[in-house]
Homo-oligomer: A and B are copies of this chain.
Amino acid sequence: MKKQTSAPRLSIAEENYLKAIYKLTEHSERPAATTAIAEQMQTAAASVTDMLKRLADKGLIHYERYKGVSLSDEGLRLATHLVRKHRLWEVFLVDKLGFGWDKVHDIAEQLEHIRSPELVERLDEFLGRPRFDPHGDPIPDAEGQFAERQQILLCKLTEGQQGVIVGVAEHAPSFLQFLDKLSLVLGTCLEVVERFDFDDSMKVRLPDGREVLLSSKVTHNLFVQKQPV
């Protein structure tokens, strides 16, 4: 029941489940819970159990009743490729078509399911083999390898330290639009003027001299690269 004769292409639904499981297990050792997947996919838990059985039969996940689920090697490979396609398309939409970084996610959710190895390769080349997407997330290469980068959350910087914004941990359009309003776009250099530990907020100075107060929510969702002062 586990071995596959050949590799039947996955449906869009199956691909979306794989990506959901990937996201949930990406930064943790523990398997993904049915409820968490249901939440991520906006479906009923019963639908998730249904699908988990199918994915397990296809050898894409490790699944034991009541024990949660994790990706198999093959499942991880497929999920990584989906992430690659998603992020490459996001680069295309922003760099080539001029979309705002807050507008591209839903379209990339569709484009990531386009099936054509040659298309991905040519797109990658057309875009100049980008290593990070418009949100600063790394784009795995054709072998599934992610670029490494020295980055920390803004909230980890101490007073006087400088950092360059290289990514966002939160992708909600409202958050991205808020950052746009403050000109806190990728590549922006900022210096921590003062930290207010009682509520985790901080005042930072921007390149134009402006000083702004950033809430805890903001400082915990901005990735920066520490700059030597």
Contacts and interface: CB of A to CB of B under 8 A. Distances in A.
A123 B107 CA distance: 13
A111 interface: yes
B119 A97 contact: yes
Nearest to A114: B110
Interface residues of A, number: 18
A123 B98 CA distance: 10
Majority-rule SS of A interface residues = helix
A14 to B, nearest CB: 15
Interface in A68-86: none
Nearest to A12: B12
A49 to B, nearest CB: 25
A99 interface: yes
A116 interface: yes
A171 interface: no
Contacts of A96: 126
Contacts of A97: 119, 122-123, 126
A65 interface: no
A12 B108 CA distance: 17
A115 B122 contact: no
Contacts of A118: 99, 103
A25 to B, nearest CB: 28
B122 A98 contact: yes
Interface in A24-46: none
A107 B111 contact: no
Interface of A: 93, 96-99, 103, 106-107, 110-111, 114-116, 118-119, 122-123, 126
Given A97-B126, A99-B122, A110-B114, 10 more contacts: A93-B119, A96-B126, A97-B122, A98-B122, A99-B118, A103-B118, A107-B114, A107-B116, A110-B116, A111-B114
